[in-house]
Amino acid sequence: MIVLGSANMDIVARAEHAPAAGETVLGRDYALYPGGKGANQAVAARRAGAAITFIGSLGQDAYGEALLHALTAEAIDCGATIRTATPTGIAIITVEAGGENRIIVIPGANHDLTADRLPPTMPPATILLTQLEIPIPTVLAAAARVRATGGTTILNASPIAGIDAATSTRLCAAADILLVNETEAAALLGLPRLNDTAGAAARLATGRRAAVITLGADGVAWASEQGTFALKRHDVPVVDTTGCGDAFAGGFAGALERGATLADAVAFGNAAGALAATKPGAQPAMPTHAEINALLST
């Protein structure tokens, strides 16, 4: 399975509440964690039991070295990851006492991952999991190459803000499985908000294998040619919601790579996302296959 996407160093500050405009807040502590949607999802899928090749772009700096080390320590193949002179991407994250977060991403070297730097060929019948923190032409080129070899593209259409309607249409057309949260689903459908998640999932699934909408505290809804379905969230103690969506994506894709049905993959991803909220950080919080199965068994 291939994960194509971003890798960032997350600079996480914890405070009782996030500052309002013009306000200074005294924080409790801070920490550095490996992050980035692509790298997070690669780690999540690997811990979920999938064999992973990660394609990304890192700077030739200390953050880049640390991120590469974190990925290879998970037994993730990084042979196709490039190194550039641009500084490694970072994310500045504020986590409030209740676990909610606010994130500023500075892409850095992630924007150097252009389509001409992709591997010239993709393995046959592979699964590609990708997101939108790298150049969109790269996402589209990779999806086209995977489709040409009979593979499956799972597009986590995040972040979607600022992407025009024509580009959104091209991205959706490239996705065999579309994975979004409520805000992203509403944006793709041209709605101010979602009032009917089941109907939204059905609309987004039209013309593709499936669409999955993660709903945070309300669980997850998904649709395929078999119908529209929903699962409630797992009741777990919330420490930090950073990376929960990435845990879902990686767990979901990893389960599909192992041959799970769509319904079982959604349930596996739902449990993975819940468990990620119980620990601080993004990549460090990604649960293992055994932890996910233990939660599912309850």
The structural domains of the chain, with segments of one domain joined by +, span: 2-18+29-297
Selection from 108, 34, 110 nearest residue 66 by Cα:
34
Average pLDDT score over the chain: 94
**Residue 133: its pLDDT value, please?**
95
Active-site positions read 246
Q: How far apart are CA 224 and CA 209, in angstroms?
A: 6
Give the Å distances, CA to CA, from 149 to 128, 144, 155, 156, 256.
11, 9, 17, 21, 18
Contact assessment for residue 39 and residue 88, using Cβ atoms and an 8 Å cutoff: no
Task: Name the pTM for this structure.
Answer: 0.92
pLDDT of amino acid 25: 92
- Residue 195 CA to residue 273 CA, distance in Å, equals 23
Q: Tell me the per-residue pLDDT of 23-40, one tens digit each, with 9 for 90 and over.
A: 999 999 999 989 999 999
Task: Evaluate if residue 151 carries a pLDDT over 90.
Answer: yes
At residue 292 the predicted structure's pLDDT band, cuts being 50, 70 and 90, is very high
CB 105 within 8 A of CB 89: yes
pLDDT in tens, 51-63: 999 999 999 999 9
Mean of pLDDT values over 214-238: 93
Mean pLDDT across the stretch 219-227? 95
Element (DSSP H or E) covering residue 182: helix 182-189
> What is the Cα–Cα distance from 217 to 13, expressed in whole angstroms?
23
- Joined together, the tokens standing for residue 149 give 């070899």
- Region for residue 162 given its phi and psi (left: phi exceeds 0; alpha: psi -120 to 50; beta: otherwise): left
Tokens 């032409």 correspond to what residue? 137
The pair of three-digit structure tokens given for residue 195, joined into one six-digit string:
């009032």
For the record, the structure tokens of 95 come out as: 């986590």
Rounded CA-CA distance 56/269 in Å is 23
Q: What is the pLDDT of residues 173-213, one digit of tens each?
A: 999 999 999 999 999 999 999 989 999 999 999 999 999 99
Average pLDDT over residues 161-177: 94
What distances in angstroms separate CA 57 from CA 74, 214, 296, one per listed residue?
18, 28, 35
pLDDT at 241: 83
Q: For a pLDDT cut of 90, what percent of the chain falls above it?
A: 86
CATH class of 2-18+29-297: alpha beta
Whole-number pLDDT of residue 163: 92
Least confident residue range of 40-44, 46-50, 101-105, 294-298: 101-105
